[in-house]
Structure 1
Amino acid sequence: MATNVKEWKLGDPMINENDYWQDPDYVAEDPEKEKLVLKLATMITDRYVKKLTGKINNRDPEYWMLDMILTKEQVKFLINFKKTRVPYSIPELAQMNNMSEEETTKMVERLRWIGIIEQNRAKTSDKHLQYELPIFVPGSAEFMMMQEKLTDEFPQLATFFNLMTQLPLAGITQMVPPGGAGIGMHVIPVEKAIELENQSVPVEHLSRWIDMYDKFGISECSCRKQQAMRGEGSGEIRGEYCIGMGDMAEYMDDRGIGHYVSKEEVYEILKRAERHGYVHQITNIDGEGKIVAICNCAPGVCNALRTSQLYNTPNLSASAYRAHVEKDKCVACGKCVEVCPVGAAKLGQKLCKKDGSEVKYPKTQLPDNKKWGPDKWNYNYRDDAKINCYETGTAPCKTACPVHLSIQGYIKMAAEGRYEDALKLIKQDNPFPMICGAVCNRRCEDACTRGTIDEPLAIDEIKKFIASLDLKKDERYIPLCEKHDGGFWSDDYKVAVIGGGPAGLSAAFFLRENGYPVTVFEKERRPGGMLMNGIPSYRLEKDIIEAEIEVIRQMGVEIKCGVEVGKDLTIEQLRSEGYKAFFVAIGMQGGRLAGVPGEDAAGVQTGVDFLRTINQDHSVKLYGGTVVVGGGNVAIDVARTAVRAGASKVTMLCLESEKEMPAAKDEVEEALEEGIEVKNGWGPKEVVTENGHVKSVIFKRCTSVFDSEHRFAPVYDENDTIEIPCENLLLSIGQSVQWGDLLKGTKVELNRNGTAKADPLTRQTAEPDIFVGGDVFTGAKFAIDAIAGGREGFVSINRFVHKGNRLDLARDRREFIELDKDDIQVESFDNAKRQIPGKKAGIAKDTFEDLRLTLTEEQVKAEASRCLGCGATTVDENRCIGCGLCTTKCEFDAIHLSRDIPKASTMYRSEDKLKAVGPYAAKRAGKILINKITGGKK
C-alpha cells in the first residue's frame, strides 16, 4: 500500500504529482490490485491527457490515494460502474457484480460511507435510491474529506484533495472561457446585488435554486478542513458552511457528515455568510437543471477560488457580473476593499493630478490573446488579495490613522444626518470613539489634505459628536456578536485578556464580536487602564470611559477587577482552567526616575504615580511650588493636574527646545493659559534636600537632544545651571512596565526597555499562546495605537486557537499609502472656516471637569462639508469575480454589479465542457498567432 506521501510545500504550487511520494522505487505488494487501482483511477480522473492516454501510474495521487483507502474487492466493485456519473440501483449493481442484493447493499453502504460513491434518488415514480461513481472534484475527493474518521485514518486525503483541484487545471485554465464552462464551481452573486438587474437570468439567483428543492442539509466545509489539516489555514475557521441541495442533503445526513436544515435556515446561513465575507458558489457540472450544493467559500482556503487565483485566470469560476464604482458617491471607507476575496477592489484617489489628468490604475493581464504558463501564475495570490491600496496612494486621513478608520465615510454620514450609521461604521475599527474624540493626538488631522488649503478638517470633533449621541440613548448600539457559522464558541475556546486598558479591552471587543468567550483580568478596582488612571478628568471624564466599557460588558465580555495575574493567580492556573490564549496588555504603569542625587527625597514622585493618585481621589492636594520634569503629553497632564491639585506655582522643564517638544501644541498652549511656566532646554542635575524633603532642583543646560541620526543622545553644558525652589518634584521623563510575577514560568523575553519581545506582525511572543499589545509591546504611545494593537491581537488569537491556521498567511496587514498632496488639483471646495467647539462656563484650572463641549449639529454639518473627499475605491474588472460582496458593505450606494459577461451564466454538464472550451481555445490560439505576427499591435 502506498503510504509515503509528501506534504504539499508552501510557495511551490507549480504542481508536479511526482513530488508527493517519497519512494521512487515503490513496488506494489499486490500487482493485481495495482493494475485494478490504475484502471479505476483512470476512470475517475479529470485529467484528460492522463485519461485519454491511459498514463496514470503508481506515482500519481489518483493511484496512491485509492490504493490506501480501498480494498481490492472494493476496487473491483467500483470498476464495474464502467463510467463516472451514471446511476445504478442496488439490483442493477448486484447483477453487474454477481453478488446478492444483501452483499451489494453492504458493499454500497461502506463505499457510500467512505464517499467514493454518491447517492441520489431516481426520477421514477418510486424514487428509489441509486448510486453513481463521481469524479474527484467536485465529487469523491470532497466527500471523503468530509468523513472525520476517514481523514483521521488517512490524513493524506488533505494533500490529495488539494492536488485534485489543481492538477486537472494546470495548463488548461487559460483555455476556459469566461464563467468556467462547467468547471467545478461557479460564483453566484449576492442576490441583493442583482435583484433589480432586469437583464439577469434565473440561474444567477440563489432563490431560484433554493426554490427548486424541498430538502436541504448543512455540512462542514471540506476546503477549510483540508487547509487546516495541511497547516495552511488563513483564519477562516472550520464549521458548517456548505449547503446540500435535494438528494445531496439526504446523502450528507445518511453518511453522518451533515444534517437537515429548513429553507429558512438556509437563507439565514447565506445572510450570515455575506455578513462575514464569504463567497456564494454553486456546483457547475450538471447544466442549468441541477446543482448539488451552495457553498459559502472563504477566499483564503476555497479550492475553486484558490485555483483560479493561483493560475491567474479569474474567469475560471467568475459570475457574469463585474463590480463598478461611482466615484462621485464613493468615500473610500475601504469596507469593500476589506471584503473583496480576490483583491480586485483597492483604494485610490478621487482628485485629479495637477495637470488635470486622472490617475491610471493597472489592470490584471488576462490570457485572451497571450501565451500562459507558470511565468504568468501568481504564487502570492493569497497575500496579494489583501493589498489595500495602490502605490499612488489614497486619502491621507485613513492612511495616517493607526486603526485606519473610515474617516471619509463617517464624515459623509454625518453630513447626511446618518449618525447611528456613522457610529456603526466607526465601531467596526474603534470601540472607543468618544474616548478617542477626547484624547486622540489627531494624526488624521495633521495629514488632512484640506490643511494644504486653509485648516484641516475637525475630524476628531465630528467623531466625538457622533459618539456623544449614542451615550445619551436609553438603548445603546451593541454590535452583533457571533461566530461565523452561527452562535458562540464554547468554553473550549476561552481567551484571557490580562490588562483592562485600551489595548486589552479592544482585543476583548473584537474577540467577543467574533463569538469568543473572553475574560478580562484587571488588577485595579475598575477597568480602563491609563485611560482611567493616567489621563486627567479635565481631558477625559471617567463616566465616558465607563459608558464605553459598559458596551463591551453588554456584548458579553466578563471583566474581573482587583485580580493581578502573577500574584492572585498565574498563567499556568488559567491554562488549567481552560484558557487557550492570552493577550497581555498591562500598559506602562510605572514611572522612571532621573538617576540624579537626591531624587529619593520626600516630595519627589513620578508623574504616573501622581496622576494615578489624583485620578482615584480628587481630594488629594499639593501644597507649595511644584516642578515638573518632562516635555511630553503626560508631562503636560501632570503639570495641569498639579495646578488643579492646589500647587501655588507650577514650573515645567524639559530637554527639548520649544519646536522639539513632543507634547501637542494645543496642550502646551492650554498649559501656558493656566499659568504654567515652561522652560525649554534644561535637564535635572541634582535634587537639593532639607530635612529629607525636596527643597529645590538644580538643572543643567541641554545643548542638543538628538545625534545626527536623530537618536536620543542628550549633550549638556554642566557649567550652565539654574536652581528652582519647590516643595514637590514630579518626574515625567518616561514610563516602565511593572511585570511583577506575571511572566514567571513563561518563555516570554523582554527588550532592554522592559517591553515584551514579539513578532511585529502577529504580536506572538516566544510563548506561543501569549500575545502582547499596547504599551507593553510598542512602548508608551497613544490610546489609538493601543486600540490598533488590540485588533491585531484578536486577529492572531482567532487563528491561533484553531489548529492548522498560520498567523501570517493572507493576513490583512492594513498598510496604506498617502496620496501625493503636492500633485493634486482641488477644483472646488466649501469656503467655510474650521468649526470650533464651545466651552462650558467655568475656569479650567479650578476644576477637574472637562469644560470642552462637542460641536453642535449645525457645526458638524458645516464642518463635514469642508471634506475634500480625496479618496475613492477603484475596481480592476479583469480581476473581479462578480460575487457582489462589496455591495453588501457599501453604505453609500457607490458600488454596483453589472452583467458585463452574459455568456458566463451558461452552465454545461461536465461531460459537455469541451463543447465550450474547444471553440474558445481555437479562437484564442488565433489571437495569439495574430499577436505574434503583428508584435502585439492588434
Structure 2
Amino acid sequence: MAEARELILKLGQKITDRIGVKVTTEDPEYWGLACVITDEMAEVALAMKVRVPATAQWIAKRCKKSVERTEELLQEMSVIGLIEYNWENEDHHKQYVLPMFVPGCAEFMMMNAKQVEEHPELADFFEQMARLPLEKVTPMVPQGGAGIGMHVIPVEKAIPSSQESASIEHISYWLNKYKDKYAVGACSCRRQQRVRGEGTGDLEDDLCIGVGDMADYLVETGKGRYIDYDEVMEILQRAEDNGYVHQITNIDSEEKIFAICNCAIGVCNGLRTSQLFNTPNMSRSAYRASVTKENCVACGRCVEYCPSGAARLGQKLCTKNGEIEYPVQELPDETKWGRDKWSVDYRDKNQINCYDTGTAPCKASCPAHLPVQGYIKMASQGKYLDALKLIKTENPFPAVCGAICNRRCEDACTRGRVDQAVAIDEIKKFIAEQELHAKTRYIPPMLNYSGKPFQEKIAVIGAGPAGMSAAFYLKKMGYPVTVFEKEKRPGGMLMNGIPSFRLEKDVIEAEIDVLREMGVEFRCGVEVGRDITVQKLRQDGYKAFYVAIGAQDGRKAGIPGEDAKGVLTGLEFLRCVNQDMENTRIAGRTVVIGGGNVAVDVARTALRAGASSVSMYCLETRETMPAAGDEIEEAAQEGIGICNSWGPKEILTENGRVTGVVFKKCVSVFDESGRFHPVYDEEQLLTVECEAVLVAIGQSVRWGELLAGTKAEFNRNGTVKADPVTYQTAEPDIFVGGDVYTGPKFAIDAIAAGKEGCVSIHRFVHPGQSLTIGRNLRQFSELDKDNLQLDPETFDNAKRQVPGRKSPDGNNNFRDLRSTFTEEQVRAEAGRCLGCGATVVDPNKCIGCGVCTTKCEFDAIHLSRDLPEASRMYKAEDKMKAILPYMLKREIRIIRKGKKG
C-alpha cells in the first residue's frame, strides 16, 4: 500500500459530511481525493474555509503562494470539481468556495466526464459520500430536510390552485429568480450508476440544470452549457413525460438554490434517502398524493411512474369484512431507527405494482396487463382515441387481439360472479376499429430521456406478434429498427396461420401500417441464417437482436402412413390457404387430428376450401378440449363432426394416397402429476374412411441456420434457452421472445414478451446498465373474488351485449362475419363493469413529487398540502437549529412509546 498522504487526509477530514468520523486511508474521503488531487492543490484547499466564499488573493496569503499560482491551482481544482466559485457580492468579484462532499464536490467531480473515465473509482467515491454521512442522521431530520441534501419540488401543474402554497414550492419562482442564467449538464447520479454497472436504463444526459452563478461555473469548467428559458422548459417537460422527479438543492437557505435536478428513482442519490433509509423527511415536498377512489380505474399508470413505491394497485370493492386496511410504511418519528428499518432492495421493491391482496382480475390475468377498466371507462365516455392510446401503452395490436384473443380477462372478470363477464374483448375490438382508418389511427410519438433518436441499430428477426411488438416499443423509444421476415409480407402466424374468417388480412395490415408510419423498416423475403447471417448484421452495425420467428412448423403424430399423399400438417395447410386462397382447394372427406384452436381453424378452413365433409378427432373429452368453447360451438354449427377421446394409430393408404385413419380409444390424457401421458385401450379401434388428413397436434420451431455459430443453447423441445426475466440467451446480444422461448402460446403472450424484450435491449446496448436492477417485473395478483360482497341485488341487471353478424358476401366464405358493437352497446356493456380495482397511496412513502398526477387521465389522483412545514429551507450551517428541536421531541416520543409498550 502506498504511503498515506497527510495533506489529503487533512483535506478529507476538513470537508467530510460525516460528523465525528476520523478519516483514514480506507475511507472514501481519502481515496476519492487522492486519485485526482495533488498535494499542492490540497495546500490551497486547506487554506480555505468550508462553504465560505473567498478571493484568490485572500487564499494566496493563507497558503503562502503567489496569486498567479494560486489562481492556476484554483482553476485546476474547479475543473476537477473539488471547488466551485461565484460572484455573489456587491461589486461582483470572483470568489472561490470549498464545498462539503455532498451536495458539492463529490458530484461536481462526477460531472467531469473525462476524469471519471480515467478514474472510475470516483463513482464509488460519490456513491459512498452520498450515503455514509446520512446513515445515522436521516431519522433525526424534520420535515423539509433541515438544510441537508436535495428537496423534492412538485410538478407545478399538480399543485392545486385552491390551496395556499409557498413561492419556493414552484419551479417558476426559481426560474424567475435566476432569469436568463441557466446551464445544463449531465446527471452525476446517472453517470455514477453507469460506471458502477448498476444503471437502470435511465441514461445520463443534459438533465441537471444549474442556475445563477452555478450556471457560469458549469460552463467555464466544461461541465455544462448555457441554455435559454425555452430549453429549460423543454427539459422540464421531457423530464415529467419520462416520470423524473424535480429536486432543488436544499443547503443555502430559503432564498437560494444552485440547481434543479430531474431525478430517476433507480439511480438518484437524493431520492435514495427516503427509499433506502425509509426516512422521507429528508427529501419530500410539502405535498402528498391521495386517490379519489370512485374516479380511479386501476389503469396503473400512476403506479408505474411512482418513484417511491407509494402508489400500488389494490381493490375498490368491499370484502365480506368491509374495506381492506392497507399497510403503511413505518416512520422514524417515534421509533428507534437502524439498518433493520432500511429497504436495501428498494430499487426492486419499489417496482412492485400490486398489494398482496390483489387488484382487478382483468388486469392481473392479462399477460400484457392491459388497463382494462381504463379503456372501458374512456369508451363509455366516447373518448375512443384516448382509449386506443391507453391500450397501446401495453398492446400495439388491439385490432388483432380483438379478433383472436383468448380473453383471459373475461375468464377472470368479477362480473362473472354476478351473472356474465363483461364483454371486454368486444369493447376493445370496437375501440380498435379506429386502427383500420388512417385518419383515426394513433401513431405514438417518440419518448425517451433525451428527446433525440438513438443511434444503436436493432435487428428484429421475425415479423410475428412478438417481433413486431418489440419493434413497436423500440421505435417508440427512438431506436432505428429493422425487422427481417423470411415470408413475402410481415405478420408471421397472424398472416399465415390464422384464417381470414377469424382475422382478416386488412386488420393486420392496418396495424402494421402504424409501425411503418413510425419508421420501422421491414425487409421481407430475407431469411437470416440463409440470405444473411447474424455476424454479417453485426458487421453492418446492428447492436442487438430480438429473435421471434415463432413456432411455424406443424408436428406429425409419428404413426405409419403419415408420408402418404393427402396428409398435411394443419399449419402447412393454413399457410397455403392464407398465401393463395383462390387456388388452394381440398377435396373429399377430410379428417382433422387435434382438439386445439389451431385444429378448429384447420377444420373450418378445410370446409371452406372445398372438403365434402370435415370431422375432428382428439384425445380429450368435449369438456376438456383445449380449444375455446365458442370456437368449438361455431365449428359444430357449421356441420363439423367433433369426435372425442380418440387418438391416431395408423393412416391407411392405397397406391401412396390416404384412404382412411385408424383411431384407438383414449382412456386418459394426463398422468397423476398432470404431465401429458395418454393411455389407450388398444382393443377399442375405429376406422374412418377419408381422402385427406390434416394433423394439427402441435407446433415446432424451424431454426435453420439462424443461430449457427452463436453460443445460443436449445431445449429438448426445440425452444431456445434464455433468462426468464431478460430473455437474454447465452449469446449476450441475442434476445428471444414468443413461441421460440415459451413454446406455442397466444398472440397476447407474444406481445407481452416483445415489450419486455424492448426493455432488455434498451439496457443492453448502453454499457453500464443492469438488465435486472430496478426492473418492473409486471407481477399482478387478482383480488379474492370469494371474499367480496357481491349481492346481485345491489348491481344493475343489464344483460351482456352480443355483437351482430354481417351478411355473407356471395361466394367469399372466408370473410369474418362477426360485427363489432354499436356505440349504444359499448356504453351499455361498459356500464356493467364493477370497477374492481383502484390505486392506493401509502402516505408515509409518498414524497409529493406530483408525477402521478401527470399520468392520470381520470382525475383520480391529486396532491394536497398536508405537510406545510416541509417547505422550510435552511442553510447547511444552520441545520442543527432545525435538527436538535426535532431530535429531542423524537427522543421523548420514543421513550413514551417504550413505556406504553
TM-score range, shorter chain: over 0.9
CA distance in 1, matches of 2:801, 2:353: 32
Amino acid aligned to 1:28: E
In structure 1, the partner of 2:61 is 95
In structure 1, the partner of 2:102 is 137
In structure 2, the partner of 1:274 is 240
In structure 2, the partner of 1:560 is 523
CA distance in 1, matches of 2:56, 2:647: 93
In structure 1, the partner of 2:326 is 361
In structure 1, the partner of 2:762 is 798
Contact 2:314–2:354, Cα closer than 8 Å, also in 1:
yes
> Residue deviations 1:86-117, cap 9 Å, x none?
11223333333343333233212211110101
In structure 2, the partner of 1:518 is 481
Moved more, 311-320 or 321-330: 311-320
Contact 1:322–1:899, Cα closer than 8 Å, also in 2:
yes
Contact 1:136–1:164, Cα closer than 8 Å, also in 2:
yes
Moved more, 85-94 or 880-889: 85-94
CA distance in 2, matches of 1:906, 1:397: 44
| CA deviation after TM superposition for structure 1 residue 476, in Å | 2.3
CA distance in 2, matches of 1:179, 1:678: 71
In structure 2, the partner of 1:229 is 195
CA distance in 2, matches of 1:394, 1:279: 27
CA distance in 2, matches of 1:245, 1:120: 11
- Check if 1:124 corresponds to 2:95: no
What pairs with 1:219-258 in structure 2 (closer than 5 Å)? 219-258=185-224
Contact 2:435–2:510, Cα closer than 8 Å, also in 1:
no
* Matched position secondary structure for 1:791: helix
Q: Which ranges of structure 2 fall in alignment gaps of 5 or more residues? A: none
CA distance in 1, matches of 2:281, 2:450: 28
Amino acid aligned to 1:551: V
Contact 1:483–1:516, Cα closer than 8 Å, also in 2:
no
Contact 1:644–1:846, Cα closer than 8 Å, also in 2:
no
| CA deviation after TM superposition for structure 1 residue 919, in Å | 0.4
Amino acid aligned to 2:299: C
Counterpart selection for 1:352 from 313, 318, 321: 318
* Matched position secondary structure for 2:41: helix
CA distance in 1, matches of 2:852, 2:114: 38
CA distance in 1, matches of 2:45, 2:93: 20
* Matched position secondary structure for 1:328: helix
* Matched position secondary structure for 2:642: strand
| CA deviation after TM superposition for structure 1 residue 27, in Å | 5.6
| CA deviation after TM superposition for structure 1 residue 516, in Å | 1.1
- Check if 1:59 corresponds to 2:26: yes
CA distance in 1, matches of 2:183, 2:677: 68
- Check if 1:201 corresponds to 2:201: no
* Matched position secondary structure for 1:796: helix
Counterpart selection for 1:175 from 124, 140, 144: 140
Amino acid aligned to 1:819: L
CA distance in 2, matches of 1:875, 1:475: 36
- Check if 1:108 corresponds to 2:83: no
Contact 1:501–1:587, Cα closer than 8 Å, also in 2:
yes
Contact 1:674–1:844, Cα closer than 8 Å, also in 2:
no
- Check if 1:454 corresponds to 2:425: no
| CA deviation after TM superposition for structure 1 residue 494, in Å | 1.1
| CA deviation after TM superposition for structure 1 residue 507, in Å | 0.5
- Check if 1:41 corresponds to 2:7: no
> Residue deviations 1:743-773, cap 9 Å, x none?
0000111111100111111111111111100
Counterpart selection for 2:337 from 351, 368, 372: 372
| CA deviation after TM superposition for structure 1 residue 710, in Å | 1.3
In structure 1, the partner of 2:725 is 761
Amino acid aligned to 2:790: V
Moved more, 835-844 or 265-274: 835-844
| CA deviation after TM superposition for structure 1 residue 836, in Å | 0.6
What's the Cα RMSD here? Answer: 1.3
Counterpart selection for 2:698 from 721, 734, 757: 734
* Matched position secondary structure for 1:412: helix
CA distance in 1, matches of 2:586, 2:511: 31
CA distance in 1, matches of 2:327, 2:453: 42
Contact 1:241–1:295, Cα closer than 8 Å, also in 2:
yes
| CA deviation after TM superposition for structure 1 residue 196, in Å | 1.4
Amino acid aligned to 1:461: E
In structure 1, the partner of 2:667 is 703
- Check if 1:75 corresponds to 2:42: yes
Amino acid aligned to 2:499: P
In structure 2, the partner of 1:3 is none
| CA deviation after TM superposition for structure 1 residue 737, in Å | 0.3
* Matched position secondary structure for 2:785: coil
Amino acid aligned to 1:642: A
> Residue deviations 1:820-852, cap 9 Å, x none?
111111363222111111111128996111111
In structure 2, the partner of 1:612 is 575
In structure 2, the partner of 1:670 is 634
Contact 1:483–1:489, Cα closer than 8 Å, also in 2:
no
- Check if 1:418 corresponds to 2:383: yes
CA distance in 2, matches of 1:93, 1:477: 62
- Check if 1:861 corresponds to 2:827: yes
Counterpart selection for 2:447 from 463, 482, 507: 482
Q: Identity across aligned pairs (percent)?
A: 62
> Residue deviations 1:869-926, cap 9 Å, x none?
0111100000111111110111110100001110000000111111101100000000
Contact 2:434–2:441, Cα closer than 8 Å, also in 1:
no
Amino acid aligned to 2:78: R
| CA deviation after TM superposition for structure 1 residue 709, in Å | 1.3
- Check if 1:530 corresponds to 2:493: yes
- Check if 1:813 corresponds to 2:784: no
Matched residue pairs, number?
897
> Residue deviations 1:377-404, cap 9 Å, x none?
1111111101111111110100110000
In structure 2, the partner of 1:28 is 3
Contact 2:155–2:246, Cα closer than 8 Å, also in 1:
yes
Contact 1:844–1:851, Cα closer than 8 Å, also in 2:
no
Contact 1:494–1:517, Cα closer than 8 Å, also in 2:
yes
- 1:790/1:679 CA distance change after superposition, 3 Å: same
Contact 2:367–2:749, Cα closer than 8 Å, also in 1:
yes
- Check if 1:407 corresponds to 2:372: yes
CA distance in 1, matches of 2:347, 2:233: 29
CA distance in 2, matches of 1:901, 1:203: 14
* Matched position secondary structure for 1:268: helix
| CA deviation after TM superposition for structure 1 residue 242, in Å | 0.7
In structure 2, the partner of 1:14 is none
- Check if 1:723 corresponds to 2:687: yes
Contact 1:434–1:464, Cα closer than 8 Å, also in 2:
yes
| CA deviation after TM superposition for structure 1 residue 247, in Å | 1.5
* Matched position secondary structure for 2:863: strand
- Check if 1:158 corresponds to 2:123: yes
* Matched position secondary structure for 2:52: coil
Contact 1:644–1:845, Cα closer than 8 Å, also in 2:
no
Contact 2:330–2:844, Cα closer than 8 Å, also in 1:
yes
Amino acid aligned to 1:40: L
CA distance in 2, matches of 1:219, 1:479: 29
Contact 2:385–2:440, Cα closer than 8 Å, also in 1:
no
Amino acid aligned to 2:518: M
CA distance in 1, matches of 2:208, 2:790: 49
In structure 2, the partner of 1:544 is 507
CA distance in 1, matches of 2:211, 2:399: 48
| CA deviation after TM superposition for structure 1 residue 931, in Å | 0.9
Contact 2:160–2:863, Cα closer than 8 Å, also in 1:
no
> Residue deviations 1:134-172, cap 9 Å, x none?
111111111111111211221110000000011101112
CA distance in 1, matches of 2:726, 2:301: 22
Moved more, 501-510 or 91-100: 91-100
Contact 2:138–2:273, Cα closer than 8 Å, also in 1:
no
- Check if 1:879 corresponds to 2:842: no
Counterpart selection for 1:494 from 439, 453, 457: 457
What pairs with 1:382-397 in structure 2 (closer than 5 Å)? 382-397=347-362
* Matched position secondary structure for 1:822: helix
Contact 1:420–1:470, Cα closer than 8 Å, also in 2:
no
What pairs with 1:573-588 in structure 2 (closer than 5 Å)? 573-588=536-551
